Structure formats: C-alpha cells, structure tokens
Structure 1
Amino acid sequence: MTDILEADPPKKRLDGIKKAAILMISLGPETSAQIMKQLPDAYIQKVSYEIANMDHVSREDREAIVNEYLEMSQAREYILDGGFDYAKNLLNKALGTSRAKEVIDMLNQIQLRERPFNIARKADPQQLTNLLLGEQPQTVALILCYMQPDKAAQILVNFPPEKQADIAERIGTITNTSPAIIERIEQVIESKFSTYIENDTENVGGVSTLVEILNQVGRTTEKAIVADLEQKQPELAEEVKASLFTFEDIVSLQKSDVQKVLREVDHDALVLALKGVSDELRDFIYDNLSSRAVETLKEDMQYLGPARLSAVEEAQQSVVTVIRRLDEHGEIYIMRGDQDAIIE
C-alpha cells in the first residue's frame, strides 16, 4: 500500500499522498479504515490531512488512481510468481507496451528503495569514498553492485589503479551472495558511516524551511498554522511572520519590483487574486499598471462573478510564487524581518 504513496507515474504528476487520499475516498470508509490500520503513523497523518482538505475528486482522477493501484498490485503478483521478465511479458499483453513500461519503471524505483545499502546510495560520494578506501576489495565491490552506476563510477576512480582493477574484477565475477553476509556487511557499513559523519551534520528544518513550506500552502492553512504557533510558541511565530511573505505584502515591494512581478504574473490569475481584497491593495496594483491594463483588469473582474475561496487563495499563491522566484534570482528584493534596507 505504501508503494502508491510514493510512486508517481510520468503522466499523472499527482503528489503521492494525494493519490493515496483519492484511493481511500474511492474505496469507501470501511475498506479505507482497514488499510489505514496497516500504514505507518506518519502516512496516516499525512493522508488523513489530505482527505480532510480534499473537497472534490474528479471521476478521471479517481479512475486513474484505482486503475494504477490495481495494476501495481497485479504487477507485484507477477513479479513474485516469476520475476521482472515474467511480469514485463504479462503486463505487455495486459496493458500494452507503453503502460507496462510505466508500471515496471515504478516497480523498479520501489525495488531500488528496498535494496540493501540504502544509506550508501544516499550518501555523498566523497564521504563514501573516504569510508570505503580502507575496506577490502570484495566488500567495496559488493557495495558498488548495489549503487547507482554513476555514483559507483565516481567512487571507483578514487581508488589506486591496481585496486580499481581488483574491485572491477570482483564486480564482474559476483553472481550471488548470501543474504546473511549482505545484511552483516550492511550493518557494519551503516555503523561506520553514521560514526564517520556524526560531526558532519546537514542543516534541515528550522524557520527558513517552515517559511518555504508555508509560502506554498493555501492561505487558510497558513493562517491556521501561524495562529497555532502564536499560542504555543509566540517567539517562533514572530520569527516566522517576519520572514513569511503573503499576497498582501506585495505593498512592501519597491514600485519597480512590483512592476516586474506583474509582468510575470498570468492575467487570469491576477484577476482572480484580486477578488475580495481591500480597496487599498487593489488600488496599489492599479497604480503599477498601465491605464489600458487597468481598464482590462477591471473589465475582467466585473464579469468574473462569484469565486471559491480556495481558488482565490490558489491564484494569490501563484503571485507569491512569482515574487519568491524573482527574489531568489536577485531580480527583486523582499525585505525580511530586521534585514538592512537597500540603499539606491
């Protein structure tokens, strides 16, 4: 079941958690409840949140997700019966060459995540090289067999020439290895690698990460999270709010920067984004457009009619996304918290 949470076929481009939520909705509450019990807590929370915030599922999406789940389940059974070649042959007959390839590719990705030496595949090549330089050639060869070819090549070239040949020969002659040996080596490598990098930590999370996430969610969710932080961790909430850019914050931009943003924003998105905003904000936008553009914008807004809050928030978020992109590329400047102002 967790496969459908992670695999993402090329054509659908749906988030894995959304796909799982759609599947749960399609299967009904009783069946979904039984499936939920078998999922890790982290997935249950994510899927439950997605279900709670999903107010509409198109028939096309529902059918596509259910069909994908059935195809994946069927393909797994074929693999268990006779391996990938057997599964590929049957899937080609059942689904056609193109769709069969998509399913096989997804299963290959899933299998890759389940293969031994996962920590090695995720590790930085240079760090892993430093660790493996002291290992026996047969150990290095075994690990490289389970790694991505390009990363394995990066590691192999760092060994002395004579050791490269020894490792290459062993890779070429490995046919099978006891699972117990693989597991034992994997445990040793993971233990050594965790010790090796214990002082080489990676910066993850924190206010900047939270702000990046909040700048991508809908305004309703953003406001609810910030309000909750204000109750539980007021100092963190203030820090987040100082860095968080909202659609209304567009008035804090320089006039020239606003004009750059508006040139990049889709016209229809801007029409929808201005639905229900204050007169001051709307006038601010008008002041940064040509008279002809303002006339067109007002006309389109007049004929827009009622709009869903979620659609308006999505349009506003698309404007914020443009602003963040231009800021990251240094094309405009966003004031954040106590940062110094720009002197022109």
Structure 2
Amino acid sequence: MPMDNDNKPKYSGAERVAIFMMSLGEEYAAELLRYMGPKEVQRIGGAMASLERVTRSDIDAVLREFSELIHDQTALGIGADDYVRNLLCAALGEDKASGLIDRILLGRNSKGLEALKWLDARAISEIIRHEHPQIVAIVISHLDPDQAAETLSYLPERMQSDLILRIATLDGVQPAALQELDEILESQLSGKNTAKSSMVGGLQAAANILNFMEGARETAIMEGITQVDADLSERIQELMFIFANLIDVDDRGIQTLLREVSTESLVLALKGADDDLKDKIFKNMSKRAAEMLREDLEAKGPVRVSDVEAAQKEILAVARRLAESGDIVLGGKGGEAML
C-alpha cells in the first residue's frame, strides 16, 4: 500500500477504490458503479475527481494490495456469500460495505425504497407526506441521515417529533410488510437500485437524523419527544454527536478537520463554544494562526444564535464526511465511534 512520509496510507479507502476502478477502464468501472448506491457513487466519484499525480508505482501498489487480498481470502473452505462479505468489508469497512453487500447477496431487483435515495428531499416529502406516520417513519429510516433530516424538514412541524419518536422505537420491520411497501413505492417510481434489509430505525438512526437537523428544529423536536417520553429523549441525546463533542476528537483529527473548514465558519462556531474546546482548537493550530483566530473572535462582536448554530452544523457536516472516509474518528457522548 502506498505510504506517505508519516508512514500512514497515502490514499484513503475511497481513493484506493477509485484508483482500482480507474485502472480497469471506463467500461468495467461503469459496470461496478451500477451495483452502488448514490452515496457510494458520490464518494468514489469525488475521489476520482480529486486524485492528482497518481504514479505508476501507486497504481501497482493498489493492484498488488487487491491481488494479495484475493489470494489471502481464497474461496476454498468457505461459502461464496462469506467470501464476498469478507472481501467487501476488508476493502471498504463494514459500515460502507453493508449496503453494497445487501445489493449483491440479496439479489433483489430494483425497488422503490432504494430508488428514493436518488430523489431530492422535497420530492420525497411530497411522495410520503399523506401516508400513515408509521409508513413515513419507515421510509425516512431507509434514507441516509443527511437526506432524512432534509426530508423531515419539509414535512409539517407538528409531525416531526412524532416521526423521530417512531423512528427511535422501530425494532425492525417484517420482511413481508417491507416488501409490500417497497412494491407500492416502486409503482410510483422508476429506480435502478435495490432495497436494503428489514432492519431499519432505532435510537441511533433517530440520533443520526437529528444530527443533521437545523438547530432550532432539532431543539423543538427533542422538546416534543421529551414531553412524550423523557427517558427515550435522554437516550437519543446520549447518542447524538454535537459540536461540544469535538473535544473528544484526537489532535490529528482536529488538525485534519481544521484544514477543511473556513476561518469565517470557525469564528462563528467558536462564539458558542466553551473555553476547553477553544483551547483544543488553538492548540492544534500554528502559533500565528491561533493568534489571528483569537483576534477575529474578539473583534467579531455579538452574533445571532442561529448563525452560530448554522456554522456549527456546517463544521459537523465536514467532520462526518471525514469520518465516513476514515480520515478522522468521532466519539459520541457515550465514547463510542460514530458514523
């Protein structure tokens, strides 16, 4: 595997996949992309577009790594399903590989639930807004958290707390019921993807969606849930990753995050941060950069709470993107890695 000067992998997992696919040529790369969902296509496409100065030795190293992986995980003695599952998890990580594994191993045809992921949030909200709330909750649970949060924001405010409550208390869906819902949606859509398994919803799904909600709406939804079930509300909050939790990210992760964040957003976000988090940010900057940031904070003056929350959400979105690509590790209130 290509290494940089710090003896770390020179390329992220997504970049190694991009290099591998580009080495196959357009026809075979396009065939592989057919088995991937919108998030995978976006991540790998972005990696392809950002790759620069990839040397022949780098390509050879990626291909050699893949070849060794194939050689080490021979199919002799294990089932084909286990082989594919182990291979994809080793290459992409368990979280990223899960959707692709479902598409390949379950062998289902294109279905409506997965096709929704290719639509914009407003269009999804129009399709589901008149369905029973439990149906809406199941559909939203199938979306990726950022898309789910945006879809939720287009639904009536009076529904939002109830839907998050239903998502948090979902404990899977019977395959027959899920298939029926899938077929109903498929009749309204023409998608080219595949439905996932029946395990949807749960506390973590609710927390992930709320992480992407605008600050004021997130607060209102949590207040609504607290009125119905205070214990459930507390359990959801424990799983949410908020701006203050950046204090738990290691120094290398903070440095990586700071390279991706604009100074303007950082200044606004830190106006609402406590001193410990500010000190952690300053510590991971050069002395000159830290001094300039302190000066900008002092000169900024009063700002609207909504602006601070928006800036914090923007930075958290960057942090989640970096976590998804394996560049940093986020820790929630419970101390476990998220995303």
Q: Fold conserved (TM > 0.5)?
A: no
Q: Which has the higher contact order (CA 8 A, sep 6+)?
A: 2
TM-score (norm 1): 0.42
